[in-house]
Structure formats: C-alpha cells, structure tokens
Amino acid sequence: MKILALTGSPRKDGNTERLVKAIIAGAQGKGAEVNYYDLSQLNIAGCKACMYCKSNDGCAVKDDMLPLLQEILTADAVILGSPVYMWQFSAQTKLFVDRLFAMLNPDYSVKFKSGLPLVLVYTQGQPDVKAFAGYFDMNAKMFEFLQFKVVDTLVCGGCRNKEDVEKNEAIIAKAKEMGEYLTTLK
C-alpha cells in the first residue's frame, strides 16, 4: 500500500501538517508506505496552458511537479491538506491542483488509476467547520471529475497557533482512523 501525502502550508509543523501526519501515523501503523511532501518547499510553477500534456505524457514544465505526477501513477491513495487562505486553498496547494491538468486526457479520461482514493484535509481559523462547506464540496466534486474517489473531507476549525489542532482530540483520533482505513482499500 503506497500513499502519497501532500500539504500546502508554508508554516512548518503547523496545523495542516500535524493533521495530515496523524493520518500518516494511522496508515503507517497498519504497514503503509507513505511518501510525504511539503508543497511549500517544492518548486512548482503554475500551469502554462501550453497543452503539451494533451499529446504527451508528463508536463512541459520541468519542475518538482514531475516526480509528483509520477507518484500519482503508482499511488494507492493520496492525502492532500491545505490551510484555508481567504476562504480557499492556499496558493501553494492551488499550484499543485492546477498542474493536475497534466493528468487529464483530451477526452477527459485520466492517466492514473480511475477511482484513486483521495482524502482532503483543511485547517482553518474559523471555528465553524461548516463555514466553507460549499467550497469544500465544490473541490470534492472537482476531484471526482478528475476521477479521484474522495473518501472524506476532514476539517479542523479554530486553528490559529500552529499547534491548535492538537487540542482537538476528536479530529486527531478521526485522522488516525482515516489512515488505518486507507490501508483497507487495497
């Protein structure tokens, strides 16, 4: 079982990283092999809309997205975590998401295993976890269009200081269970 885990916060050891790492701990406890990347530490440019990917495999932009595209091809599950920035993904996360365009064929089929399990993770300052539900639902639909199978969307509210997520024992426990659950999908 190979899991690709990504976070898009520029804050090292912050809430998003901690929550995703709780999922990773659950998965590793059940024997999963997990490759974790901090998107903010990678060199990922925006999509150039050159359409290279519509007649070739891979992407014409030769940066750190290329190994991630390769990992998606062989992953059994993906975890993507982002802090909520201005009601949306962080910019670091959005760069990654836009570059998934390289996985989409002209007929809207995809180059990776259709139905690849995906867990979406958000942390936010707003205590009401329903505040951005419309945006999270739309993202889940977008990923389903890309033929991921969105297993769940975990949201932790009330995260201001970078360790605040640890005070929410319920969400940390849920994250660990989610990691364990992912290992049952293969």
Ligand X SMILES: Cc1cc2nc3c(=O)[nH]c(=O)nc-3n(C[C@H](O)[C@H](O)[C@H](O)COP(=O)(O)O)c2cc1C
Q: What are phi and psi of 142, to 5 degrees?
A: -60, -45
Q: Does 49 bind ligand X (CB under 6 A)?
A: no
The rounded distance, in Å, linking the Cα atoms of 131 and 98 is: 24
Q: Does 124 bind ligand X (CB under 6 A)?
A: yes
Q: Does 9 bind ligand X (CB under 6 A)?
A: yes
The nearest distance, CB 138 to ligand X, in angstroms, is 15
The nearest distance, CB 14 to ligand X, in angstroms, is 3
Q: Does 155 bind ligand X (CB under 6 A)?
A: no
Q: Are 186 and 76 in contact (CB under 8 A)?
A: yes
Q: Does 84 bind ligand X (CB under 6 A)?
A: yes
State the number of binding residues for ligand X (CB under 6 A).
Answer: 18
The nearest distance, CB 126 to ligand X, in angstroms, is 3
Q: Does 145 bind ligand X (CB under 6 A)?
A: no
Q: Does 92 bind ligand X (CB under 6 A)?
A: no
Q: Does 160 bind ligand X (CB under 6 A)?
A: yes
Q: Does 14 bind ligand X (CB under 6 A)?
A: yes
End-to-end Cα distance, the chain: 7
The nearest distance, CB 168 to ligand X, in angstroms, is 11
The nearest distance, CB 151 to ligand X, in angstroms, is 21
